């Protein structure tokens, strides 16, 4: 449920991930609107009021770390600010995704009920997969393929488990979603080094901002080898907005 400025960064992702659960890579007919079903993983990640437990103007700060043997890593931060609560439950908010030269400019939003961090990360992730697997720039639209594979994994093979997390001295009940969208990919030979990538997301309806942790890992080559690429995005603080 996003309108205004964030549509440019997020809606294209939603349009792909929120297709009919029965979608395939063939030209099979689309389901009628009242027949559309979403998997448990899709529902948890993309649907619902993710800001329901934000009851005052709030600042959520996330840390981000990229490491691994494939290329140089970095650390950065993401700041999501809920600036105003509307009578209908929607929120005015703004986000600073990374800093300095890496900062991704995103205009503030007047009415939203989502935390955009998760969706913006996934959009950036498929672009990164495109870059990593196409160093010569010959397949510039490959990111769309990776996007579809993630969508299908959320429908067909993602696991969802209850989990208890502890944050700032409190325990929260949450859900842990895990999936490996490229393991059985028919085209994995085209990007073999990255085909075993694992995605892990932890969210909680009880936690202000909903998203607690997002982690991806590409295993290293050989037993005991460090990961080629390892990324961790994690909630670090929730503070009242002054």
Q: How far apart are CA 158 and CA 165, in angstroms?
A: 20
pLDDT value, residue 135: 81
pLDDT tens by residue, 178-201: 999 999 999 999 999 999 999 999
pLDDT value, residue 137: 72
pLDDT value, residue 35: 59
- Spatial neighbors of 20 by CB under 8 A, at least 6 apart, are 30, 31, 35, 36, 37
- On whether the CB atoms of residues 208 and 60 are closer than 8 A, the answer is yes
Q: Specify the residue for token string 């509307």.
A: 86
Own/partner contacts of 25-31, CB < 8 Å, gap of 24 or more, are 25/148, 25/152
pLDDT tens by residue, 169-180: 999 999 999 999
pLDDT value, residue 36: 65
This prediction's pTM: 0.85
pLDDT value, residue 141: 83
pLDDT value, residue 80: 96
- Give the 3-state secondary structure of the chain: CECHHHHHHHHHHHHHHCCCCCCCCCCCCCCCHHHCCCCHHHHHHHCCCCCCCCCCCEEEEEEEEEECCCCCCEEEEEEEEEEEECCCCCEEEEEEECCHHHCECCCCEEEECCCCHHHHHHHHHHHHHHHHHCCCCCCCCHHHHHHHHHHHHHHHCCEEEEEEEEECCEEEEEEEEEECCCCCCCCHHHHHHHCCCEEEEEECCCCCCCEEEEEEEECCCCCCCCCCEEEEEEEEEEEECC
Structure tokens at 140: 């510039």
Q: Which residues of the chain have pLDDT under 50?
A: 1-32
pLDDT value, residue 138: 76
Q: How far apart are CA 165 and CA 172, in angstroms?
A: 5
- On whether the CB atoms of residues 215 and 233 are closer than 8 A, the answer is yes
pLDDT value, residue 241: 76
């Amino acid at each position: 449920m996003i309108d205004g400025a964030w549509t440019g960064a997020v809606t294209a992702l939603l349009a792909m991930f929120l297709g009919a659960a029965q979608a395939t890579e063939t030209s099979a007919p689309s389901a009628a609107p009242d027949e559309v079903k979403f998997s448990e993983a899709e529902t948890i990640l993309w649907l619902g009021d993710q800001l329901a437990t934000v009851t005052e103007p709030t600042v959520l700060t996330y840390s981000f770390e990229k490491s691994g043997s494939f290329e140089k890593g970095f650390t950065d931060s993401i700041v999501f600010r809920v600036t105003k609560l509307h009578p209908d439950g929607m929120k005015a908010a703004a986000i600073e995704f990374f800093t300095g030269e890496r900062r991704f400019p995103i205009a503030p939003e007047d009415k939203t009920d989502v935390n955009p961090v998760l969706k913006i990360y996934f959009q950036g992730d498929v672009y990164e997969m495109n870059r990593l697997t196409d160093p010569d720039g010959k397949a510039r639209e490959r990111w769309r393929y990776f996007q579809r594979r993630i969508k299908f994994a959320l429908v067909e093979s993602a696991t969802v488990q209850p989990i208890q997390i502890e944050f700032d001295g409190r325990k929260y009940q949450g859900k842990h979603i895990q999936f490996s969208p490229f393991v059985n990919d028919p085209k994995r030979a085209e990007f073999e080094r990255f085909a075993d990538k694992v995605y892990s997301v932890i969210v909680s309806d009880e936690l202000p901002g909903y998203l607690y942790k997002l982690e991806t890992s590409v295993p290293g080559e050989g037993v005991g080898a460090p990961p080629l690429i390892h990324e961790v995005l994690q909630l670090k603080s929730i503070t009242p907005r002054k």
